[in-house]
Amino acid sequence: MSIFNAMNTTASALTAQRLRMDVASSNIANANTTRATVNENGEWVPYQRKMVSFQSKEQDFRSYLQMASNQSSTPGQGVKVTEIVDDDEPFKQVFNPNHPDANGEGYVQMPNVDPLQEMVDMMSATRSYEANVTSLNATKSMMMKALEIGR
């Protein structure tokens, strides 16, 4: 087991949480974007909310078997982002007949982004990021103390 395992694990979590914050920021920035992409019919489609999926870096059967039998000499190897997926929630219909993207009935399809939910996700990612920074600083402090022993 390397002395840098804890730092590598924390670094992977920092990277994942930073991406989660970036995706939430993108969702907030595009909360009113009615022309994000063009579909196969050549029509504009509103922005679709994005979500981040995480997964443990260890995913082979052997690692689970060793963990279950307590024979694993290495702790977890951190997390990785598996994918950024679109939220399948339907678009919001807002009545605004003066909008250039309004349909014949006066309704506009708005993105499926809830700014309140995005702020909660952003706060959660920020707190996780801060916790991982604290863990990284504690690991760094322990390594510095170990180096002082040799003096």
Task: Give domain status of residue 146, yes or no.
Answer: yes
Mean pLDDT calculated for residue range 77-88: 90
In a domain, 44, yes or no: no
Mean pLDDT to the nearest integer, 125-144: 94
What is the value of pTM for the model shown?
0.81
Overall number of domains in the chain: 1
Residue-wise pLDDT for 32-42, tens only, equals: 999 998 989 88
Predicted confidence at residue 14, as pLDDT, reads: 95
Interval 5-56: pLDDT, tens: 888 889 999 999 999 999 999 999 999 999 998 989 888 999 999 999 998 8
Contacts 24+ apart (CB under 8 A), 30-37: 30/111, 30/113, 31/111, 31/113, 31/115, 31/118, 32/110, 32/111, 33/111, 34/99, 34/101, 34/108, 34/109, 34/110, 34/111, 35/101, 36/111
Domain housing 136: 2-31+50-86+113-150
Query: What is the percent of the chain where pLDDT is above 70?
Result: 87
User: The tokens of 11 are what?
Assistant: 């670094």
